[in-house]
Amino acid sequence: MSQFIFPIESFEPLVLLTTLVLLGAAKGGSGWKKMFGLGKKESKSPASTADPALAAGDWERAAKIFEEDGRYRDAAKLYRGKGQNHEAARLLVRAGALTEAASIFERVGHYQKAAEVCAQSGDNKRAGENYRRYLQDKFNTLADARSPADHAEFTKYCRLAGQAFERAGLHEQAAEVLERGEQWEDAAGLFLKLNRHLKAADLYERAGAVDHAADAYAQAGDRVRAAQMRGEHLYKRDQKNEAAVQFLLGGDPLRAAEVYEEAGNYLDSARCYEHCGAHRQAAEAYERLEQLDRAAEMYGRSQDYQRAAALYEKAEDWGRAARMFAESGDYYRAAKNARKASLTELAIDCLQKIEPTNPHYQESLVELGQSFMERDLPGVAVEKLKRALHDQPLTAKNLDMYYTLAVASEQMGGYEEAAKIFKQIVAENYSYRDAVGRLQELDKKPAKKATEPSLHQAAKEELGGKRYEFIEKIGAGGMGVVYRAKDTRLNRIVAYKMLMEQFMEVKDIRERFLREAQSAAQLNHPNIVTVFDVDVDPEQNRLFIAMEFVSGESYFDILQRETKLSIQQTVQFVGGVLKALAHAHSHGVLHRDIKPSNVMLSKQRAVKIMDFGLAKILRDAKAQGSEKASGTPLYMSPEQILGGPLDFRTDIYAFGGTVYHLLAGEPPFVDGEVLYHHVYTAARPLKELRPDVPKVLANIVMACLEKEPADRPTSEQILKMLKK
């Protein structure tokens, strides 16, 4: 290759020129021009181009030349030097100097541009702050007088500020500015991230985002508000059954009931009305469902006793119908239903309350007489009918009354009197019932001999000599008279209770009384008044009880004096009575009438229960033979009132009611219809009436007052609870 390399000096000038021309052509014609300095010359540096303008003092021309040449920083420098910061910042943005540009915008108060530049550079915190400054500068002075356009711009920049803060991780600042701009839902989401659930819920609610609001309330622990909100939301969407469920969860059973009723769901509506105490509405709903018993019970609770009674009657629940009619004051219908239910005592009680002005008065007297005879009390029937007739002559109008009088007279052995009345009846109406047949039967019976010994006389002869000597009368009441007496056979002081004469007239009462007395006499316990003897008084021809004489006073007397007892006094009562009940119940003996007047506190401070099993029998017998009610059952258990089976839990209920009285100063129920309340109404919590009662004792008392016997504790369980 060396033979082809020549020194350039050896070329001829023409050849050299030709070569250069060809070379220039090969390079588009520019090569040779450059080589010889021909054509347009290359520009000098931009600074030198702008120098003449600068030298002439035309800085604006120089700045434009810099900008045209892409020398944005140099152009910006000129603008800054002349105080045109906005143009300087604009050019710095084009130069990519975003932070520097933002600083200039900030210094001159162009916060909107500063925010945009910061956002562009990724400085979200600074962007958010500048957006916020822009909002303060522009809109604070406008306050509430913003035009729609201003308001739209305000909300727009609040949203931009919030978004910038959120990108920067500054959720609290973001939430606050979004809330200010009425971006409720976005703000709520951020408050949720900050665990400010109530605030979030409030904003979701403003935004109409009900589901989110409810969830937020639930997260805040306000499940009631959450459920109520969901309920209203579902209700507006016509999902009424689902809405009602939410109202229930939200603690508004009345609203739930109304919504269920709108939906035609009467069963759930009735239950909700019942739950919230809207008993009349519950009754109407149950009645639509033809659940007569439930409807009647609800009418009773709403004190619409007449309607309740009518429904019970329709359902053939005669017993409850009788009680509701009695509550309504319709004693005749009450008695009619009571007789159908074989509730003779209730029938008698109602019939005795019927006034002479009542159109059913004469009918009630007839039924009253029949009821007395059913209870083996013909003498009482005769007395009542004779008093009502007032020596009226027998007529077609009072035929039924005279007929009943004749039957009662016959039943008690007054054959002559009965025959006389039947003759008058036959004379008035030969075909009246079985009057002719009864008269014929009476004519066949021999006249009663005057020498025939009476039941009382036979009892007197059987008893023999006098055993008890009365020392002093120590009490008297509806059941009889009590004496302090001496048992001459055993030489000891006893309490001698002589019962009213009427208790001798009914064989069933006598037999039951003797059986209970025998059971009570077997109880040997320091907290039970011992029964020594039960028999017929030889002089008075009356049943009597001889029992342990307790020198002291009853808790009824103590309450009359002190109104309520101290905790210590009550605990003493509780301990003594529970031990006595535990002993009696273990022997299968019920008291059936625990109350303050049946519990004594001796002078030796011993608690003693009296009249085990006897008081209830006497009270029943008294109701049969008297025109007056046997007293308000302030401590009677629901099952006793309803005529259900009784067991030891009946005594526990009465015990609870008595202790309640000792502590609160009054029984559980004293106002309104006490019987109804015992069956259906919860007693007011004892702690509300007596805050100083220990919690365990208050809980025991309220447990004893449970309506269902199975829910009450036993005496042994209560004693164990007290020991803890």
> Is the same domain home to 612 and 469?
yes
Mean pLDDT, rounded, for 614-631: 42
Calculate what percentage of the chain has a pLDDT beyond 90. 19
pLDDT above 70 (res 317): yes
> Could you give the count of Cα atoms lying within 13 Å of 127 in the half-sphere of its Cβ?
25
- The whole-number pLDDT of residue 83 equals 83
Confirm whether 454 is domain-assigned.
no
Please report the pLDDT score of residue 250 as a whole number. Answer: 77
My answer on whether 536 and 512 are in the same domain is yes
Is 556 among the domain residues?
Answer: yes
Helix axes 715-723, 695-704, angle to 10 degrees: 170
Q: Give 516's pLDDT tier (boundaries 50, 70, 90).
A: low
Q: Which of 48-52, 58-62, 108-112, 653-657 has the lowest mean pLDDT?
A: 48-52
CATH number at residue 591: 1.10.510.10
More confident call, 327 vs 12 = 327
Average pLDDT (359-380) is 75
pLDDT exceeds cutoff 80 at 30: no
Q: Averaged over 511-538, what is the pLDDT?
A: 79
Q: Distance (Å, rounded) from C-alpha 643 to C-alpha 512?
A: 18
Residue 456 lies in a domain: no
Of residues 628 and 33, more confidence is placed in 33
313 shares a domain with 266: yes
Evaluate if residue 24 carries a pLDDT over 50: no
* Overall average pLDDT of the 268-283 stretch: 88
Give percent of the chain above pLDDT 70: 82
The band of 664, judged by pLDDT with boundaries at 50, 70 and 90, is very high
Q: Please, are residues 126 and 118 in contact by the beta-carbon 8 Å criterion?
A: yes
450 lies in some domain = no
Q: Are residues 672 and 532 in the same domain?
A: yes
541-554 average pLDDT score: 86
Q: Which of 201, 235, 269 is at the close of a domain? A: 235
| CA torsion, ordered 591, 595, 598, 600, to nearest 10 deg | 120
* CATH number reported for the structural domain that contains residue 123 in this entry: 1.25.40
Global confidence as pTM: 0.40
Is the CB of residue 692 less than 8 Å from the CB of residue 684?
A: no
Read off the DSSP letter of residue 685. P
**What is the model's pLDDT at position 591?**
85
User: Tokens 């308001």 — which residue?
Assistant: 151
552 & 692 share domain: yes
pLDDT score of 585 more than 50: yes
Query: What are the tokens at 264?
Result: 């035609």
Is a pLDDT exceeding 60 seen at residue 444?
A: yes
Q: Among 235, 260, 288, identify where a domain stops.
A: 235
Q: Do 436 and 522 sit in the same domain of this protein?
A: no
Q: How many CB atoms lie within 10 A of CB 334?
A: 28
Q: What is the mean pLDDT of the chain?
A: 79
Q: Is residue 458 part of a domain?
A: no
Give the pLDDT score at 13: 43
What span, in angstroms and rounded, lies between the C-alpha atoms of 142 and 120? 29
Cβ count within 10 A of residue 367: 23
Q: Is the pLDDT of residue 614 over 70?
A: no
Rounded Cα distance between 139 and 189, Å, is 25
Range of the structural domain that residue 658 is part of: 465-723
Phi-psi domain of 655 (left: phi exceeds 0; alpha: psi -120 through 50; beta: other)? alpha
Please give the pLDDT value at position 145: 58
- Tell whether 363 and 490 lie within a shared domain: no
pLDDT at 460: 40
- Report whether pLDDT(125) > 60: yes
- Look at the alpha carbons of 174, 179, 183, 189 in this order and tell me if their dihedral is positive or negative: positive
Q: How confident is the model at residue 685 (pLDDT cuts 50, 70, 90)?
A: very high
Give the contacts of 589 (CB within 8 A, at least 6 positions apart).
519, 520, 522, 523, 612, 613
What is the predicted pLDDT for the residue at 589?
83
- List the single range of 161-175, 614-628, 703-717 with lowest mean pLDDT: 614-628
Q: In the numeric block, which tokens belong to residue 301?
A: 């609770």
Is 42 within a domain?
Answer: no
Residue 298 tokens, joined: 């609800």
Is the pLDDT assigned to residue 425 strictly greater than 50?
A: yes
Sequence-ordered list of residues with C-beta below 8 angstroms from that of 698, at least 6 positions apart, any chain: 685, 686, 687, 690
Q: What are the pLDDT digits (tens) for 41-79?
A: 434 444 457 777 777 778 888 778 887 878 888 888 888
Domain assignment present for 525 = yes
Can you tell me the distance from the alpha carbon of 559 to that of 581, in angstroms, rounded to the nearest whole number? 22
Whether the per-residue pLDDT at 555 is higher than 90: the answer is yes
pLDDT for residue 333 is more than 80: yes
Lowest mean pLDDT among 7-11, 51-55, 667-671: 7-11
Nearest to 516 by CA among 390, 620, 361, 404: 620
- The answer to whether residues 406 and 482 belong to one domain is no
Rounded to 5 degrees, φ, ψ at 196 are: -95, 75
- 586 and 545 together in one domain: yes
Secondary-structure percent of the chain, ordered helix, strand, coil, rounded to 5: 65, 5, 30
Say how far apart CA 553 and CA 284 lie, in whole Å: 51
User: Distance between CA 351 and CA 368 in Å, rounded?
Assistant: 6
pLDDT at position 7: 43
Residue 10 above 60 pLDDT? no
Q: What is the total count of domains within the chain?
A: 4
- The DSSP secondary-structure symbol of 350 reads H
Mean pLDDT within 574-599: 90
Q: Is residue 677 part of a domain?
A: yes
Q: What does DSSP say about strands 552-554 and 543-548: parallel, antiparallel, or unpaired?
A: unpaired
Tokens of 489: 């056979």
Question: What does the chain come to in residues?
Answer: 724
Residues 489 and 601 in one domain: yes
CATH at 263:
1.25.40.10
- Same domain? 165 vs 135: yes
Q: What is the pLDDT of residue 410?
A: 83
State pLDDT tens for residues 197-230: 777 777 777 877 777 777 777 777 777 777 777 8
